[in-house]
Structure 1
Amino acid sequence: GGRIKLVAAYKRPAQNPKSAADSSRWVMGSYFETDWQPETSPRQQLPVALDMAGLYEQLLSPLIFGKDEGGGLSDDKTSHISDVPAAVYTARAQAEQSGRLTLARRIELAETVVTQQKEVERIKTRLGREKQFNKRVAINAELRDAKQELQRLIQQQAATQSH
């Protein structure tokens, strides 16, 4: 048989306060996707939500959090796209809701992690091309800082998954 994958992107209204015409336009964010799966794999039903924002969050959150450093989804996250109980979304305490990051902020954080990963790779490439020792030392220091920043972002992203 064939194979399928789930792909979703975050869409938000344009936020240009200077132009009323732009407020009716939508901006497409990054795409998030699962790994390829057999066509015969079990399908999940849509999660129960009180509004479209809740449904949108429940559909996209597992895809955002399921991204590993290689850019795909780990196998154990693939089947959990709608396993989030409805009560988790509908019965949260107001204080807990205010402590959680918004879907937009979590997507922004995921995009920042990807950008930082690309920056680390760019610095590694530059280090490989450089021949002068003193410049290599400076590039190594820059690489170390970039890796620390990437690690901090990944830890911050992991902390949001527990909320």
Structure 2
Amino acid sequence: MVVQSEQTKPFIPFQFPEAAALGVPDQYGKKQGQKIPKETIYQQANPTHAVKQLFVGQVEHIIWRYKLSTYTINVAASEDVHEIQVFDIQLKADCDALDRQVLETLDKAIPSNIFYRIFNANERRPQLQCVMAYKRANKRDTDVMVVQDYFSSEWTALPVVESVTEVTEKLPVVLNMAGLYTELLRSLLPVPARSGERIDEQLSRISELSALHGKLTQLQGQQRKEKQFNRKVEMNSQINQLKQQIRSLQGI
């Protein structure tokens, strides 16, 4: 599952610095990124035939657009986060959502944190969705990354005529690469961080909220079908308790 942000504050895409851009410059001097052939991903991740079909049916192309590192954005190194890659994924015309297994395959193939920018194929209404995994190194094998969950923004409309400064915001000011990773991930989380809250604590709270929402939905469905009045009253009390727990966890 990819957890989508429910924050009331509209998502604003990040403006990544040209110093971190990859590829050959176009006629205007803007680097165009490096195209990643699907075959290269297959060789690295060895996906099943079914997953390969997802790539074929959903992905038009994948562009490695930026490499965020100490050397490209002048941010101090971190032991656990060395680089963050920015991948642009162009969807095919008949695809309106990217299957999580595509992202998992990419994250398996590339031992680095990846910030995905997914673009639809609608020329009249171009949109962007950003996705990132909570991804950490395997304690037993540091060359392998463990993906715990994915988080995404809502689909955001893009202007037909690009005006980067009006529709993006600069990268946050951070102390090191781990701080940048945390802020990029937090921009996609459905619940904002509390003061002084660590990223793992915030994610644990979000997981607990998700479980409570699931229980609430299930209990409300059971209450609607329940015939006995006394049982309905009992369920209503349980529903109110769950709502109170949710409000408490959502509080900043």
TM-score tier, shorter chain, comes to 0.5 to 0.7
Kindly state the Cα deviation for residue 153 of structure 1 after the two structures are TM-superposed: 0.9
Give the Å deviation of 1:13. 3.6
SS at match of 2:133: strand
User: How big is the shift at 1:24?
Assistant: 5.8
Say whether the 8 Å CA contact 1:30–1:111 is kept in structure 2. Answer: no
Rounded Cα–Cα distance in structure 1 between residues aligned with 2:241 and 2:138: 34
Structure 2 length normalisation: TM-score? 0.42
Q: Deviation of residue 25 (structure 1)? A: 4.5
SS at match of 2:168: coil
Superposition map of 1:43-82 within 5 A: 43-64=168-189, 67=190
Superposed CA RMSD in Å reads 2.6
Q: For 1:63, what is the secondary structure of its paired residue?
A: coil
- How many percent of aligned residue pairs carry the same amino acid? 26
2:237 paired residue number = 141
What is the match of residue 113 of structure 1?
209
**Deviation for aligned residue 1:12:** 2.5
Partner of 2:151 in structure 1? 32
Q: Give the corresponding residue for 2:218.
A: 122
Aligned residue for 1:11, secondary structure, equals strand
Higher normalized strand content (fraction of residues)? 2
Q: How many residues align?
A: 120
Distance 2:201 2:131 in 1: 19
**Which amino acid letter does the alignment assign opposite residue 139 of structure 1?**
M
- C-alpha distance in structure 2 between counterparts of 1:103 and 1:34, whole Å: 17
Please identify which structure carries the higher helix content.
1
Q: What letter corresponds to residue 135 of structure 1 in structure 2?
A: R
Q: Which runs of 5+ in 1 are unaligned?
A: 69-76, 78-98
1:5 alignment partner, SS class:
strand
Counterpart amino acid of 1:10?
Y
Give 3-state SS (helix, strand or coil) of 2:175's partner: coil
The runs of at least 4 aligned residues of structure 1 exceeding 4 Å deviation read: none
CA distance in 2, matches of 1:25, 1:112: 27
- Equivalent position SS for 2:188: helix
Q: Which amino acid aligns with 1:123?
A: L
